[in-house]
A and B are shown apart, each in its own frame.
Chain A
Amino acid sequence: MLEIKNLHARTTETEILRGINLKVAAGEVHAIMGPNGSGKSTLAHVIAGRDDYEVTEGEILYNGQDLLDMEIEERAAEGVFLAYQYPVEIAGVSNKYFLRTAMNSIRKHHDQPPIKRTEFLDLLKENLSRLGMDKGMMDRSVNEGFSGGEKKRNEILQMAMLQPKLAVLDETDSGLDIDALKIVADGVNALRSPERATIVVTHYQRLLDYIVPDKVHVLAGGKIVRSGDKSLALELEQKGYSFLQELVAT
Chain B
Amino acid sequence: MIATEQETYQDQYVAFQRQDSPAWLVELRQRGFDGFTRLGIPHKRLEDWRFTNVAPLANRPYALASLADFDVDTHHAEIDALVEQATLDDDFHRLVLINGRYSDQWSRLHDLADGVVIDNLAKVIADRPADVRQTLESGLDFEDAAFAALNTAFLDDGVLVDVPDGVVVDRPIHLVCLSIGNRPTVSHSRNVVTLGAKSKAHVIESYLGKSEPYFTNAVTQITLDESAELDHHKLQHEELGVLHIALTTVAQRSSSCFRSHYFSFGASLARNELNCTLDGEQIETTLNGLYMPTGEQLMDCRTRVDHAEPNCNSYELYKGILNDRAKGVFNGKIFVRQDAQKTDAKQSNQALLLSDDAVINTKPQLEIYADDVRCTHGATIGELDDAAMYYLRSRGVPQDLARKILIFAFANDVVQGVELPAVRRHLESILLSGHELSEDVL
Establish whether residues B388 and A102, one from each chain, have CB atoms under 8 Å apart when the complex forms.
no
Establish whether residues A49 and B394, one from each chain, have CB atoms under 8 Å apart when the complex forms.
yes
Contacts of B402 in A (CB 8 A): 73
A227 within 8 A of B: no
Inter-chain CA distance A71–B398, complex, in Å, is 9
Inter-chain CA distance A101–B404, complex, in Å, is 12
Establish whether residues B391 and A92, one from each chain, have CB atoms under 8 Å apart when the complex forms.
no
A48 within 8 A of B: yes
Distance of A96 from chain B, by nearest CB (Å):
4
Partner of A93, one of B390, B396, B398, B442: B442
Contacts of B408 in A (CB 8 A): 92-93
Establish whether residues B401 and A94, one from each chain, have CB atoms under 8 Å apart when the complex forms.
no
Given known A88-B388, A91-B409, A92-B409, contact A72–B441 (CB-CB < 8 A): no
Contacts of A50 in B (CB 8 A): 390, 394
A109 within 8 A of B: yes
Partner of B396, one of A51, A73, A114, A139: A73
Inter-chain CA distance A114–B435, complex, in Å, is 12
Closest A residue by C-beta to B397: A105
Partner of A72, one of B393, B409, B436: B393
Inter-chain CA distance A94–B439, complex, in Å, is 10
Inter-chain CA distance A102–B395, complex, in Å, is 6
Contacts of A90 in B (CB 8 A): 385, 388, 391-392, 406, 409
Establish whether residues A102 and B396, one from each chain, have CB atoms under 8 Å apart when the complex forms.
yes
Establish whether residues B396 and A106, one from each chain, have CB atoms under 8 Å apart when the complex forms.
yes
Distance of B279 from chain A, by nearest CB (Å):
36
Chain A 37-52, CB-CB to B under 8 Å as 1, else 0, gives 0000000000011110
Chain B 407-432, CB-CB to A under 8 Å as 1, else 0, gives 01111110000000000000000000
- Chain A, range 36-70, C-beta contacts under 8 Å to B: 48-51
Establish whether residues B401 and A105, one from each chain, have CB atoms under 8 Å apart when the complex forms.
yes
Given known A84-B391, A90-B406, contact A96–B440 (CB-CB < 8 A): yes
Inter-chain CA distance A13–B71, complex, in Å, is 69
Question: For chains A and B in complex, what number of residue pairs have CB atoms within 8 angstroms?
Answer: 94
Contacts of A241 in B (CB 8 A): none
B361 within 8 A of A: no
Establish whether residues A72 and B394, one from each chain, have CB atoms under 8 Å apart when the complex forms.
yes
Given known A90-B388, A90-B409, A105-B401, contact A97–B442 (CB-CB < 8 A): yes
Distance of A129 from chain B, by nearest CB (Å):
19
Closest B residue by C-beta to A138: B440
Contacts of A92 in B (CB 8 A): 408-413, 442
Establish whether residues A97 and B396, one from each chain, have CB atoms under 8 Å apart when the complex forms.
no
Inter-chain CA distance A158–B399, complex, in Å, is 19
B276 within 8 A of A: no
Given known A88-B391, A92-B413, contact A105–B396 (CB-CB < 8 A): yes
Distance of B393 from chain A, by nearest CB (Å):
4
Inter-chain CA distance A142–B436, complex, in Å, is 19
A30 within 8 A of B: no
Most buried by A among B385, B399, B413, B442: B442
Establish whether residues A97 and B393, one from each chain, have CB atoms under 8 Å apart when the complex forms.
no
Inter-chain CA distance A51–B402, complex, in Å, is 16
A210 within 8 A of B: no
Given known A91-B409, A93-B409, A93-B442, contact A76–B396 (CB-CB < 8 A): yes
Contacts of B398 in A (CB 8 A): 73, 105
Distance of A197 from chain B, by nearest CB (Å):
17
Distance of B110 from chain A, by nearest CB (Å):
33
Contacts of A76 in B (CB 8 A): 393-396
Contacts of B412 in A (CB 8 A): 92-93
Establish whether residues B405 and A93, one from each chain, have CB atoms under 8 Å apart when the complex forms.
yes
Chain A 71-105, CB-CB to B under 8 Å as 1, else 0, gives 11101110001101001111111101110111111
A141 within 8 A of B: yes
B19 within 8 A of A: no
Contacts of A233 in B (CB 8 A): none
Establish whether residues A101 and B390, one from each chain, have CB atoms under 8 Å apart when the complex forms.
no
A160 within 8 A of B: no
Closest B residue by C-beta to A84: B391
Establish whether residues A93 and B441, one from each chain, have CB atoms under 8 Å apart when the complex forms.
yes
B134 within 8 A of A: no
Closest A residue by C-beta to B402: A73
Inter-chain CA distance A102–B390, complex, in Å, is 13
B105 within 8 A of A: no
Closest B residue by C-beta to A79: B396
Contacts of A103 in B (CB 8 A): 396
Closest A residue by C-beta to B409: A92
Distance of A111 from chain B, by nearest CB (Å):
14
Inter-chain CA distance A81–B441, complex, in Å, is 23
Distance of A116 from chain B, by nearest CB (Å):
12
- Chain B, range 146-196, C-beta contacts under 8 Å to A: none
Establish whether residues B387 and A139, one from each chain, have CB atoms under 8 Å apart when the complex forms.
no
Closest A residue by C-beta to B395: A102
Nearest first, the 4 closest Cβ-Cβ pairs linking A and B are A92-B409, A76-B396, A92-B412, A102-B395
- Can you sample 29 A-B contacts with CB below 8 Å? A71-B399, A72-B390, A72-B399, A73-B394, A75-B394, A76-B394, A76-B395, A77-B396, A82-B394, A84-B391, A88-B387, A88-B388, A90-B391, A90-B392, A92-B408, A92-B409, A92-B410, A93-B405, A93-B408, A93-B412, A94-B440, A94-B442, A101-B405, A102-B395, A105-B395, A109-B396, A117-B438, A139-B442, A162-B395
Q: Known contacts A93-B412, A101-B405, A103-B396; can you find 12 more A-B pairs with CB under 8 A?
A: A48-B394, A50-B394, A72-B394, A72-B399, A88-B385, A90-B385, A90-B409, A92-B408, A93-B441, A102-B397, A114-B436, A162-B396
B→A interface (CB under 8 Å): 385, 387-388, 390-399, 401-402, 405-406, 408-413, 436, 438, 440-442
